[in-house]
Every structure is written in structure tokens, then in C-alpha cells.
Amino acid sequence: MGCDTMSQAMLKIENLKKKYDNSDRIILNNIDLSINEEDFLCVLGPSGCGKSTLIRCIAGFEDYKGSITVNGEKVVKPGPDRIMVFQDFNQLFPWKTVLGNITYALKVGGMKDKEERKEKAEKYLNKVNLLQYKNYYPHQLSGGMKQRVAIAKGLALGSKIIMMDEPFAALDAMTRKQLQAELIKIKEKEKMTVLFITHNIQEAISLGNRIMVMSKEGVIKEHLYNPVKKPVTPVSEGYGELWQHLNELLTD
């Protein structure tokens, strides 16, 4: 199962290497990857394979060797064109309301008009079905709602790529399934480009149009286009074969 890359990639990674100064262990080794606009790439791999480090490099939080470019611009620091959504939910200012978290980000991003910031924040809260919670504080929200606020903030900032590091791992199965469906709807409506880290094969098949498997050595074992049509269920055509193939890659 192969996956060709296109020359006009939104995100292009070439010969990416990463190891920490106090260790001889190589975290990422010779990573080459292209992600095109509106791709939903799911990254699978065992703990310690470098999945989270990969997106931290893309986000600009880590130094690295090699090349990472977004629309031809080299990544050297964090920027609003790339936003991360974390698993631990601690990505919102607890002393600010939902609306305040987004308007503050817009203010820092250079939007001077207060009313314009409010209108834009409300627009994107509405898109993730949270407008009625705009005056709530983060501690009043569920984990899934906090994830959606983070997504709304990224959309309001005009982020080109949204990176999600196991965002649903701490949620119960029913909430997880609901948020997977909502994420697909938001992604399609807003034409988002998503890089999604997961341990869960079912989640990768349900969400991704592309799936990449990494090994413990920090290399790409395989990346492929997902042939299973959405919405995905365990009885979808090709689901069983793809699940088995991915499971073999992970357990080999």
C-alpha cells in the first residue's frame, strides 16, 4: 500500500533528524514527508517512536536537523499558521472565558479592533457548536468541549495546519466517537489540514485520508492512502484488511 506525494505540498519535511544533546538515542531519523492542503494524516506508532516529537518540530517547539517548510517558508519558531491541540486540555487560560481565550489570541495576533475580534471569535465558536458557552470558563467545560475551543481558536487565527496529539485519548468511548464525527465535519466544512497522532487503529481508519506508521527507531515504516470510504464502521468494505495490515505493522 503506497502513498505518492505531490510536488506542491503545504507541509514538506526532508531528511528530518532529531536527538537530544544529553542522549545518543535518535528520536527521529531521516523523515521525509509531504502533506497537501486538506489532507487528514493520522500517525500511528508505539510509545516512544517520536510521534509527538515530530509534531513539536513542525510546530516550532523543537530544534532539528533537516528541513521543514510550510508553503515554502522554513519553520524556525512557533507561528499562528500551525496550532497544536493537546491531550491534557491545559491549553486555555483558566482565568479567561471561552470567548476571552479566543479574542486574546486574536489580539496578540495583531487584530486591533475589539468588536472585530469578538465577531470573529463568535463566528468560529458557532462553527464548533459552542457559541452558547462563550461566557463559560474552562473549568466549566468538559474535556471534549475544551478541545473544540482550541480548534475554534486555531480556525479564528487562520491556522493552515492543525496538529492534534492524541486529543481524544482521555475521553470515554461515546464522547470520543462523537468528537471524531464532529472533527470530520469541521475539517470538511473549513477545509482544514490536519496532522493527528493516535495509538488507535480504528481512530486512524475512521479519520484519516492518509495513514502513516512509525517504528520505535523513529523512522517511517509505511504511509498510505486510506481506501475505506467514510463514514467508517467495522463492516465497511476494506476495513478488516486495512486494520489487519496496520496491526501487523505495529506489532512486527
Same domain, 14 and 63: yes
Cα distance between the two ends of the chain: 16
- Mean pLDDT throughout 114-131? 94
Q: pLDDT, tens digit, for every residue of 10-38?
A: 999 999 999 887 778 889 999 999 999 99
Q: Which helix (H) or strand (E) holds 83?
A: strand 82-85
The amino acid occupying position 186 is: I
Q: Which residues pair with 195 in a beta bridge?
A: 41, 163
Same domain, 106 and 71: no
Is 250 within the bounds of a domain?
Answer: yes
pLDDT of 147 = 83
Residue 219 in this model has a pLDDT that exceeds 70:
yes
Residue 214 in this model has a pLDDT that exceeds 80:
yes
Give the domain CATH number at 14.
3.40.50.300
At 57, is the pLDDT very low, low, confident or very high (cuts 50, 70, 90)? very high
Q: Tell how strand 161-165 and strand 193-198 pair up.
A: parallel
Give the domain extent around 227: 1-81+160-252
Same domain, 147 and 233: no
Is 88 within the bounds of a domain?
Answer: no
| Structural domain count of the chain | 2
Residue 3 in this model has a pLDDT that exceeds 70:
no
pLDDT of 4 = 46
Residue 250 in this model has a pLDDT that exceeds 50:
yes
**Residue 146, Cβ density class (10 Å: 0-12 exposed, 13-18 middle, ≥19 buried):** buried
pLDDT of 247 = 96
Residue 7 in this model has a pLDDT that exceeds 70:
no
Of 158, 177, 209, the domain-final residue: 158
Is 230 within the bounds of a domain?
Answer: yes
Share of the chain above pLDDT 90, in %: 64
Q: Which three cell numbers stand for residue 10?
A: 503545504
Q: pLDDT, tens digit, for every residue of 60-116?
A: 999 999 999 999 999 999 988 898 887 665 678 999 999 999 999 999 989 999 999
Is 61 within the bounds of a domain?
Answer: yes
User: Is this model's pTM higher than 0.95 or not?
Assistant: no
pLDDT of 88 = 64
Share of the chain above pLDDT 70, in %: 95
